[in-house]
Each structure stands twice: as structure tokens, then as C-alpha cells.
Copies of this chain bind each other. A is one copy, B any other.
Amino acid sequence: MDEFGLIGQYFASASCAQGGDGIALGIGDDCALLELPAAEQMAVSTDTLVNGVHFPENADPALLAMRGLAVSVSDLAAMGATPVGFTLALTLPMAEPAWLAAFASGLERMAQQCSIRLIGGDTTRGPLSLTFTVFGRVPRGQALTRCGARVGDLVCVGGALGDAAGALPLVLGTRQAAPEIAEPLRARYWSPQPQLTLGQVLRGKASAALDVSDGLLADCGHIAAASGVKLCVEQARLPLSQALRALLGDADARTCALGGGDDYLLAFTLPAEHLQPLCAAGWPVHVVGRVEAGEGVELLDEQGQRLMPPTRGYQHFGSRGD
């Protein structure tokens, strides 16, 4: 076994993370084995992050691991699924112990936060990239898909948008800000918190859902296309964080919220009768618009005037293609 064959040792702790109900066989054989209660379905998603494309060169390995896993687990949240396990295909130019130890510690931390267990993977030599495949359980027929939005539903998001996009110049070091502004924004970029419990609560309530990875308008376009409706977003209702507004001012903060990817908060459509009970129970549900007949996405100002023509293919900032 060469140095790459030994890398698995670094990940022993992530493979013992809490959770793991439904893992019959973990790391070490040709395949892992998962079990699934009869009334449930297995949700599966794959995401790749490439050095210099999806994260800055020389990224902190612990933060990189946290972000990579969170980005993928967020897809489970978007389906209303409960995390079970994940595989990691890690490609590295060299096997450097300090880098690997830091990466593994970040991976373990996010795995614990999300109650998900490393069940297998592959480590190969090559240009740095990470591919996570995540597995979650969801009661049969209750997964939140993109195709159920109905005219009259509310368009909602799970929190303040745009922080990750606003943080990018801070992450890249091309802009500075006071710590009370910079720190929370950087954290939103590096360790997004998948809205797993919100996703699970929305089962049987939200008519469509996804996680915001391409930017709100582009992602609303995905729901509109899959559901055969139009989503109208009211610009004035966008929830924005104090930190983002302090960094950029309101206009640029809104631009980040509308077009910036990588927030990994949920966006969903909700029949109006579910709004009050969810808000009363303290869930972070922010109404930003309404579903109408038609197609594409419409952005409206405070007077209800259209700010851009309906579109199905809003060109987003981000470099992610999915």
C-alpha cells in the first residue's frame, strides 16, 4: 500500500461520527452497505469542488472540508431528508500529513454537526478536488421536489441571503472589513449550515423546495420551470443581514441576495395556510414573493412594478453549473 492508500487513516474519526442509523457496513470493503426502512426512500446527491474554481487556491483545509460537506448535505436538506452517510472522493497533488490532519478535523466537525457518517471513498493523486456523494432517508412520497409549486403559493426563503457572495472579496483577501462585519460573513462562506431541520419540518407543507446555490433568481427559475408556473420575487422583502448591509450598502447587498450563489439556505413555495403556524413555532420562514400563472421569474419593486422581464435563464455570478 502506498502513501495514498494510507490516507484513509486520517478519516477514521469522520467514519465514526454520530448518526449512521442505516449503515450496515462502512469503510473498508468494495462497497459500503446501507439499509432503509420499508416506508422510506434514499436521497442521493453528488457535488464536486475544484481548486481555484469553487474555492480559492491555498484554502484552509479544515474550512474547505467543512464547506464541501455542508454544500452537499444542503441538497439533503432541500429534499427534507435526514442525513445517513457520505462518500468522499479526494484528489490531492500530494499526501501531506499536516494538510490531511486539518482537513480530516474539519470533515469530522461538519459530519458531527450534520449527524452524517463517512462510509467510503477514494483517494487519488492529481489536481486538488473533492467530490462528495451524500445519502439521506426520507419517508416515501414526502421528499420536497421542485415541481409542486402552485399558483397562489408564497415564495419563501430560510434566512438572510447574499452573505456568501458578499463574503467572497473578504475570503479572497481583496477587501478588508472590521471583524464584527467580516467574521460572520466569512463564516457564511466557509461553513454554511444546511437547513436540515427546516427541510424536515417543511415535508407535507412546502409545495416545492431547493437550496440556494445558483442565486435566488436562478434557483426560483428552476422551481418555475419544473412546476410550470411563474415566481414573482419582491425586491423589498429580501431578508438581508446587518453585516452584509454594513459591508456593501443596501443596493449591492440586494444584488448579492438576488444573484449570488453559495448561500445554501432553503428557498421554497408554501401554501399560505402553513405560514403562520411555521412562524409561530419559530421557524425561519421569510416570504419574498408569490407564485403566479405564467413562466420564469419576475422581480418586482415596492410598487409592484416589474424590474426585469420574466426569464427562465437568469445568468448567475457563480461558477457552479448545477
Contacts and interface: CB of A to CB of B under 8 A. Distances in A.
A43 B32 contact: yes
A138 B29 CA distance: 15
Contacts of A119: 44
Given A7-B321, A89-B48, A126 B31 contact: no
Contact of A76 (B31, B54, B124): B31
B78 A31 contact: yes
B122 A322 contact: yes
A41 B135 CA distance: 14
Interface stretch (A179-187, A243-251, A299-307, A312-320): A312-320
Point out which of A51, A123, A226, A320 has the most chain B C-beta atoms below 10 A from its C-beta: A320
Given A124-B50, A321-B2, A322-B122, A75 B31 contact: yes
* Copies of this protein, total: 2
B31 A81 contact: yes
Contact of A126 (B34, B127, B136): B127
Nearest to A33: B41
A195 interface: no
A284 interface: no
Interface residues of A, number: 72
Interface stretch (A12-20, A139-147, A287-295): A139-147
B44 A143 contact: no
B42 A34 contact: yes
Contacts of A263: none
A162 interface: no
A28 interface: yes
B29 A36 contact: no
Given A7-B321, A47-B89, A87-B133, A33 B42 contact: yes
A210 B29 CA distance: 8
A118 B138 CA distance: 21
B125 A33 contact: no
A91 interface: yes
A49 B89 CA distance: 10
Interface string A102-141: 0000000000000000011111111101010101101010
Contacts of A322: 5, 122-123
A72 to B, nearest CB: 9
A1 interface: yes
A236 interface: no
Contacts of A121: 46
Point out which of A1, A31, A124, A143 has the most chain B C-beta atoms below 10 A from its C-beta: A31
Contacts of A33: 41-44, 79, 138, 143
Contact of A50 (B24, B38, B126, B136): B126
Nearest 4 A-B pairs (CB), nearest first? A4-B321, A50-B126, A31-B43, A30-B78
23 contacts: A1-B218, A1-B321, A5-B322, A28-B146, A29-B145, A30-B79, A30-B209, A31-B78, A32-B45, A33-B43, A33-B138, A35-B36, A36-B42, A46-B89, A46-B121, A47-B122, A48-B89, A50-B125, A53-B124, A54-B124, A89-B89, A122-B322, A127-B127
